[in-house]
Amino acid sequence: MSERIINKIKKIFISLRVIFIKNDLERWKNVSEKSPTAWYERNRLIAKIIPDKSRVLDIGCGDQNLRSFLKKDCEYQPCDLIANRTGVLFCDFNSNIYPSVNYQYDYVILSGVLEYARNPKDAIEQLSRYGEHMIISYSHFDKEKSKLERLNKGWVNNLTEDNLNELFVRDNLKLIEKYKWNDQIIYLVKKNYGK
């Protein structure tokens, strides 16, 4: 068999695995110990958006590298599918399990997380209840990339930019700012009380 056919078979196998396995626990365990370095850049940019003295809930915190970029007087609460460190709240939105918290946060962060949500509509609706602002990074589906390519990255949904904006409107979230990072857009949204 040619290398091209072998690679195609591997991609199909990966895609099937993503479709049938709810969460790739092995992958997320590795990320909880050491995130890919490129993700640090995204979290550095996100941290610049967050003002002093903010309370921050980091959904899908991985190795908690966002904490190191926040201003020192920010309060940080990590939350992840892999709760292997002290103080990490458990969350598995693909099983409809959300963290139990005692108060509202100023910022709820979904950095590189929403693509892995099997029901992104529900995840945004549920997680928007935790704070005044949300910062969400997302790599939109576009016609240049196939759904198979997205599945090979472990991404289980295919929202377009319009789809995501519609979710913000549905959940009464006002878009404050958008930032470009690689092939993603980082959204800063705020609860819109003035319906």
Which domain CATH number covers 127? 3.40.50.150
**Position 150 confidence tier, pLDDT thresholds 50, 70, 90:** confident
What single-letter amino acid sits at 25?
L
Structure tokens at 139: 């790599």
Q: Give the predicted TM-score (pTM) of the model.
A: 0.85
160-173 tens-digit pLDDT: 999 999 999 999 99
pLDDT higher than 70, residue 17: no
* Average pLDDT score over residue span 145-173: 89
pLDDT higher than 60, residue 25: no
On whether the CB atoms of residues 57 and 108 are closer than 8 A, the answer is: yes
Structure tokens at 19: 């479709």
Q: What is the DSSP letter of 107?
A: E
Domain span at 57: 3-191
pLDDT higher than 80, residue 34: no
On whether the CB atoms of residues 50 and 75 are closer than 8 A, the answer is: no
Domains in the chain, number: 1
pLDDT higher than 70, residue 72: yes
- Phi, psi for 133 (deg, rounded to 5): -120, 155
**Position 104 confidence tier, pLDDT thresholds 50, 70, 90:** very high
What single-letter amino acid sits at 187?
Y
- Phi, psi for 135 (deg, rounded to 5): -120, 120
On whether the CB atoms of residues 184 and 39 are closer than 8 A, the answer is: no
pLDDT higher than 90, residue 3: no
